Amino acid sequence: MSKVLRVDVLEGARIALFSLKANRMRTVLTTVGIGIGVATLLAIIGIIQGLNASFDKQLASLGSNTLQVSKFPWVIKGDWWMYRNRKDLTLPMVEQIRAQSSYVSSISPTVDRLADVGFGGEELSGVAVLGVTHEYLSVAGYEVTSGRFLTEADDSVTRPVAVIGAEVANGLFPGINPLGRTIRIENRPFQVVGTLSRKGKILDEDQDLAVMVPFKTFYATFGKGRSMRIAIAIERQEDLRRAEDQLVGILRRLRGTPPEAPDDFSINRPEMLAQTYQQLTGALYGVAVGVGLITLLVGGIGIMNIMLVSVRERTREIGIRRALGARKRTIVLQFLMEASAVSALGGLLGTLVGLGTAKVVSLITPLAADVQLVTILGGVGFAAVVGLLFGIWPAARAAHLDPVEALRYE
């Protein structure tokens, strides 16, 4: 930066600050206008970022290297009966997939139902009861916090044993060790042999409100009238796509699907839920951010209006400065710095209000809020840019005033 330009910047900043101080009420009103815009925008972005972070966390709980084979896709598009009429998966397919796939590290058949689960005088409704094998622990990514998980022996002899989720343990056994206790699942006794770590919710489905029993015990107790799924863990995440392609060929052979026919099964991945989430929320987020930007635009127009008033009020001052040799560049810098200073101050206040609003929303509603540091800095910086953009015309108008006419202005 040249010495002349540095002097212009410093002098412009000094005059701009003096002008803002001399017109306190105008400065406050302009600051409030831009602050409202920034606060609205940041509050919206904060809630959006919080929801995205919450969903990503929920999605991670499903496992990034897992595949779920089922009759039904997780997201059904089109005729539900088309999927309903598909042939069920069968238990022999599990071992055939294990033998033929070169990517599978763990595999478990899975079947489930909702049931009432009780102990003593306590009872929980709508608990997910899953029939699984011993490998499901590594597929689903649960951790055992006490006791043990299900074993091959449990499954082979159809033992009435159960491993319970964290929410079931808290609901039925507050302050009590559940190990060795007998719970009732639809009035059938099951002995608790283990408890699981907390995983949280995924799309409002509580993964901790669950009870897992041996797969064959499930069928023996509740019948075989439910469609089975196959949960698969792939050893390396980078092999997920190749494993899926290989699995398609294996399943088509096992199910006797003709070459010209479409797949009569669905292979579901966690990222499919992410794509659906983005499709559902993308338009909504766009509208919300658009509302915030419009509010900020209104604040910017307010800055332009105030700066034009300031130019008119200080016309004689500008004429004197021009007559004494001030460059057009000096006048432009002065007004641009004044506009950006007001806007940046409004951005700072708006950022604080926006962050506070987002946090309050997250405390009193189920909506999460998570504002990142780059968003905070971006809010203040963006407000300053808005001030610069909307201050260009008033600054240019001030710099191009005729010195003679400006000196005559009353």
pLDDT tens digits for range 332-347: 777 777 777 777 777 7
Residue 337 in contact with residue 16, Cβ under 8 Å? Answer: yes
Average pLDDT over residues 119-144: 89
Q: What integer pLDDT is reported at residue 366 of this predicted model?
A: 61
Enter the tokens of residue 304.
């332009």
Say yes or no: 107 and 254 in one domain: yes
**Calpha distance 211→115 (Å, rounded):** 10
Q: What integer pLDDT is reported at residue 9 of this predicted model?
A: 53
Say yes or no: 169 and 311 in one domain: no
Say yes or no: 242 and 301 in one domain: no
Q: What integer pLDDT is reported at residue 338 of this predicted model?
A: 73
Tell me whether residue 71 is in a domain: no
Say yes or no: 256 and 216 in one domain: yes
Which secondary-structure segment (H or E) carries 132?
strand 122-132
By the 10 Å C-beta count (0-12 exposed, 13-18 middle, 19+ buried), 170 is classed as middle
In this predicted model, which residue has the larger pLDDT, 182 or 54? 182
Q: What integer pLDDT is reported at residue 180 of this predicted model?
A: 92
Say yes or no: 257 and 390 in one domain: no
Say yes or no: 191 and 210 in one domain: yes
Residue 149 DSSP symbol: -
Enter the tokens of residue 254.
């096992």
The C-alpha angle 191, 196, 202, rounded to 5 degrees, equals 125
The average confidence (pLDDT) of the chain is 79
Tell me whether residue 63 is in a domain: no
Say yes or no: 291 and 312 in one domain: yes
Phi, psi of 404 (to 5 degrees): -65, -50
Enter the tokens of residue 232.
């698969």
Nearest to 245 by CA among 67, 64, 60: 67
Say yes or no: 35 and 142 in one domain: no
- State the residue range of the domain holding 193: 87-264
Say yes or no: 140 and 173 in one domain: yes
Residue 133 — pLDDT band, cuts 50, 70, 90? very high
**Calpha distance 226→221 (Å, rounded):** 12
**Calpha distance 316→36 (Å, rounded):** 33
Indicate the residue among 231, 264, 297 that finishes a domain: 264
Residue 155 in contact with residue 216, Cβ under 8 Å? Answer: yes
Average pLDDT over residues 120-142: 89
pLDDT at 181 over 50: yes
Residue 409 in contact with residue 316, Cβ under 8 Å? Answer: yes
Tell me whether residue 69 is in a domain: no
Indicate the residue among 264, 294, 313 that finishes a domain: 264
Q: Is the pTM of this model over 0.85?
A: no
pLDDT at 123 over 70: yes
Indicate the residue among 206, 239, 264 that finishes a domain: 264
Residue 349 in contact with residue 34, Cβ under 8 Å? Answer: no
Q: What integer pLDDT is reported at residue 393 of this predicted model?
A: 76
Tell me whether residue 269 is in a domain: no
Say yes or no: 307 and 401 in one domain: yes
Average pLDDT over residues 72-84: 69
Say yes or no: 283 and 314 in one domain: yes
Question: How many separate domains does the chain show?
Answer: 2
Q: End-to-end distance of the chain based on CA atoms, in angstroms?
A: 37
Total Cβ atoms within 10 A of residue 220: 14
Q: What integer pLDDT is reported at residue 18 of this predicted model?
A: 61
The C-alpha angle 368, 373, 379, rounded to 5 degrees, equals 90
Which is it for strands 210-214 and 122-132: parallel, antiparallel or unpaired? parallel
Say yes or no: 234 and 376 in one domain: no
Residues 129/135/139/144 CA torsion (nearest 10 deg) = 70
Residue 201's DSSP bridge partners are 206
Average pLDDT over residues 44-65: 70
Q: What integer pLDDT is reported at residue 7 of this predicted model?
A: 46
